[in-house]
Amino acid sequence: MNELTVYHFMPDKLNLYSDIGNIIALKQRAKWRNIKLNVVEVNETEGVTLDNCDIFFIGGGSDREQALATEELSKIKDQLKAAIEDGMPGLTICGGYQFLGTKYITPDGTELEGLGILDFYTQSQKERLTGDIVIESETFGTIVGFENHGGRTYHDFGTFGKVKYGYGNNEEDRREGIHYKNLLGTYLHGPVLPKNHEITDYLLKKACERKGIPFEPHNLDNTEEEAAKQAIVERLEKQHK
């Protein structure tokens, strides 16, 4: 059996809205392709290298927990940046996405330093952007999820896609998330991967390509996943009529 390894960063701090479900989805869809997915939980980064990592995952958390996690991740930020530039696939959720940027500005104007892996920033406001969201993506098709964030993120990188219903990065440009090389960052909780098999498969496929192992079968039966997604889309369409 072929194997991949996912590094799950800070699961003790970053598991808002059951983001651990993303790991479960990755493991199951890897299993259906006869791939064993090894999960390494990384709560402390001293001495950690990414030499054996094929995919990395950073979940969401409160501002306090995210600040603590960012301080820990800063010890390996150069490694993370190099891995991202080299095409390592990764998924970052909400705070895990925000702190890849240069700074996070709190509602009172305090600037918290980010990892600075990519050049973007987040401005937080007291009013939160909350609710189900539907995105139309050129890469992934229709994407659904749940967002609940005070941060408004601004950048010029590629995104998940155009927001059809919901808010997205900042409720202004009608775009959601970030897609840079094989790095994905998003505000979608829920968790996002069980609802969107296309994203799960993207991460696994890119990891397989990078490691030189087969990604088969290419077509799984996604009837149940598509039905669950369509139920969310139809509910929002009715609400917006």
* pLDDT score, position 70: 83
> What pLDDT is recorded for position 221?
93
Both tokens of 176, joined, read 């959601």
- Residues making up the annotated binding site for substrate are 128
Separation of alpha carbons 87 and 92, rounded Å: 15
Q: Which of 149, 155, 189, 197 is catalytic?
A: 189
pLDDT of residue 139: 96
**In this predicted structure, what is the pLDDT of residue 17?**
65
Q: Given this model, what pLDDT does residue 69 score?
A: 79
What is the Cα–Cα distance from 100 to 84, expressed in whole angstroms? 11
189 a catalytic residue: yes
Pairing of strands 35-42, 2-9: parallel
* Mean pLDDT in consecutive groups of 10 residues from the start of the chain, 241 residues: 94 74 95 96 93 94 73 93 98 93 93 94 95 96 95 97 97 96 94 94 98 90 93 93 82
Q: Report the C-alpha gap between 230 and 195 in whole angstroms.
A: 10
The C-alpha atoms of residue 144 and residue 77 are separated, in whole angstroms, by: 30
Side-chain-side CA neighbours of 94 within 13 Å: the count stands at 29
Catalytic residue among 94, 149, 155, 208: 94
Note the pLDDT of residue 9.
92
Report which of 96, 163, 165, 99 is spatially closest to residue 131, judged by C-alpha positions. Answer: 165
75: region left, alpha or beta (phi > 0 left; psi from -120 to 50 alpha):
alpha
The residues spanned by each domain of the chain are: 2-240
CATH number given to 2-240: 3.40.50.880
